[in-house]
């Protein structure tokens, strides 16, 4: 079985076969006509600012894609909030990168979408512990893209083991309903106690308390069974049984507190959106969030040639000429022609990424997370 999954292999991405067929026909045609102009191309979502910021993510994959090619590439740093104008610029012969456009846009569009969704989650509960549970909603080959974007957005943890190994950030989590079900109805204590006996001391004892009976009932049983070894409970009440989720969680908190379990933390999960987080954030200590991250729409980036042979050019509807983008002194985003004086006190955002195909910037996710944290303080 050479290729067990519907996953395009890395080699096809790196050699440019992970592309739309029309780029290969473009190569054939330009080579036939003896044309391979010197161009500047830009990657842009909206031409002008719209008032809605998005998070740039996926740059490390783009660097891996274009490294070694005879190109200069500049980009705004990963983790930057952007609102209109280009985020990446490629300078070189067109045929040097034509076939890579599809993968390049895919890398940026999906990762930036996840990171933008994850930032909305982060901002909805700035002080809570928030874990990414989104890997289950995507093809496993891109789970690390979800988790990396979530970490860049400032989430506290991730659930996916292989992604954690890749990113150098150990996966965490609680327990699934499957574990409780395996011990049988009425045997929840056996499940929680077996978990406590089996897993390492470094794992927080967070009991899932909604499998068979009422959330308050299961929570109090978990507290009685584990005593002060219980560090938290997770409530994941299924949508059809949820009713007033905030009320359920307040009841759980009340009953724990009134029995001296004030230190037992309360975690909520299951279909939770930033809006839900704002509704219940004062009652819970943490969240597990999946679809609010993975269902975020991809950012609609396009790659456009804006200069050929030093002359500005563009298709209609797009802005010709090379551009610069700035963080303005009041935290806004400004787009202007390269070479013009930017806004007073503005910081030009583009930085070199590749020079003659060589990587000239560090690209770790921790760096991007720190960048976003700083940029958030300026923008919001």
Binding site for ligand PCP (CB under 6 A): 133, 176-178, 236, 269-272, 288-292
Query: In this chain, which residue has its C-beta nearest to ligand PCP?
Result: 290
Instruction: For ligand PCP, give the closer residue by CB, 97 or 133.
Output: 133
Task: Write down the least CB distance from residue 115 to ligand PCP, Å.
Answer: 17
Instruction: For ligand PCP, give the closer residue by CB, 271 or 331.
Output: 271
Instruction: For ligand PCP, give the closer residue by CB, 137 or 259.
Output: 137
Do residues 80 and 375 make contact, with C-beta atoms less than 8 angstroms apart?
yes
Query: Looking up tokens 């031409």, which residue turns up?
Result: 47
Task: Write down the least CB distance from residue 185 to ligand PCP, Å.
Answer: 16
Residue 170's φ and ψ, nearest 5 degrees, are: -60, 135
* Paired tokens of 376: 């958030």
Task: Write down the least CB distance from residue 91 to ligand PCP, Å.
Answer: 41
Pick the closest to residue 287 from 296, 301, 274, 304 (CA basis).
274
- 10 Å Cβ neighbour count for 340? 9
Task: Write down the least CB distance from residue 110 to ligand PCP, Å.
Answer: 17
Instruction: For ligand PCP, give the closer residue by CB, 90 or 121.
Output: 121
Instruction: For ligand PCP, give the closer residue by CB, 58 or 134.
Output: 134
* Paired tokens of 263: 């230190």
Instruction: For ligand PCP, give the closer residue by CB, 42 or 236.
Output: 236
Instruction: For ligand PCP, give the closer residue by CB, 47 or 291.
Output: 291
229 to each of 150, 198, 223, 349, how far by Cα in Å?
30, 13, 9, 49
51 to each of 44, 48, 81, 173, 264, how far by Cα in Å?
15, 9, 11, 36, 41
> Rounded to whole angstroms, how far apart are CA atoms 293 and 274?
10
Task: Write down the least CB distance from residue 220 to ligand PCP, Å.
Answer: 20
Distance of CA 17 to the CA centre of its chain: 26
Task: Write down the least CB distance from residue 277 to ligand PCP, Å.
Answer: 11
> Rounded to whole angstroms, how far apart are CA atoms 328 and 315?
28
Residue partners of 231: CB distance under 8 A and separation at least 6? 204, 205, 206, 263, 264, 265
Task: Write down the least CB distance from residue 376 to ligand PCP, Å.
Answer: 23
Task: Write down the least CB distance from residue 291 to ligand PCP, Å.
Answer: 4
> Rounded to whole angstroms, how far apart are CA atoms 185 and 163?
34
> In the β-sheet with 323-327, what is the strand arrangement from edge to edge?
333-337, 323-327, 347-348
Instruction: For ligand PCP, give the closer residue by CB, 33 or 178.
Output: 178
């Amino acid at each position: 079985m050479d290729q067990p999954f519907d996953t395009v292999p890395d080699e096809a991405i790196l050699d440019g076969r992970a592309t739309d067929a029309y780029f290969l026909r473009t190569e054939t045609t330009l080579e036939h006509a003896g044309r391979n102009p010197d161009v500047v191309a830009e990657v842009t979502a909206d031409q002008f600012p719209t008032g809605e910021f998005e998070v740039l993510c996926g740059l490390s994959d783009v660097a891996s894609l274009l490294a070694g090619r005879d190109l200069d590439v500049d980009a705004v740093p990963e983790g930057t909030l952007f609102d209109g104008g280009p985020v990446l610029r490629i300078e070189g012969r067109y045929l040097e990168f034509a076939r890579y456009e599809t993968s390049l846009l895919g890398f940026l569009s999906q990762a930036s979408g996840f990171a933008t969704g994850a930032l909305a989650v982060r901002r909805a509960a700035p002080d809570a512990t928030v874990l990414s549970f989104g890997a289950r909603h995507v093809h496993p080959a891109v789970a690390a893209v979800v988790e990396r974007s979530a970490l860049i957005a400032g989430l506290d943890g991730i659930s996916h083991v292989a992604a954690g190994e890749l990113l150098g950030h150990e996966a965490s989590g609680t327990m699934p309903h499957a574990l409780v079900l395996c011990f049988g109805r009425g045997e929840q204590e056996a499940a929680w106690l077996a978990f406590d006996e089996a897993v390492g001391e470094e794992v927080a004892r967070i009991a899932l308390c909604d499998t068979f009976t009422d959330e308050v009932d299961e929570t109090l049983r978990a507290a009685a069974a584990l005593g002060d070894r219980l560090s938290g409970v997770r409530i994941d009440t299924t949508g059809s049984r949820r009713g007033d989720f905030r009320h359920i969680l307040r009841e759980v908190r009340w009953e724990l507190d009134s029995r001296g379990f004030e230190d037992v933390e309360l975690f909520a999960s299951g279909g939770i959106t930033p809006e839900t987080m704002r509704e219940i954030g004062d009652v819970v200590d943490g969240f597990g969030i999946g679809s609010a991250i993975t269902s975020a729409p991809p950012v609609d980036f396009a790659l456009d040639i804006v200069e050929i042979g030093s002359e500005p050019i563009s298709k209609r509807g797009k802005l010709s000429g090379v551009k610069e983008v700035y963080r303005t002194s009041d935290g806004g985003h400004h787009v202007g022609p390269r070479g013009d004086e930017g806004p007073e006190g503005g910081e030009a955002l583009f930085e070199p990424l590749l020079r003659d195909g060589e990587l000239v910037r560090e690209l770790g996710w921790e760096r991007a997370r720190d960048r976003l944290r700083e940029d958030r303080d300026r923008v919001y």
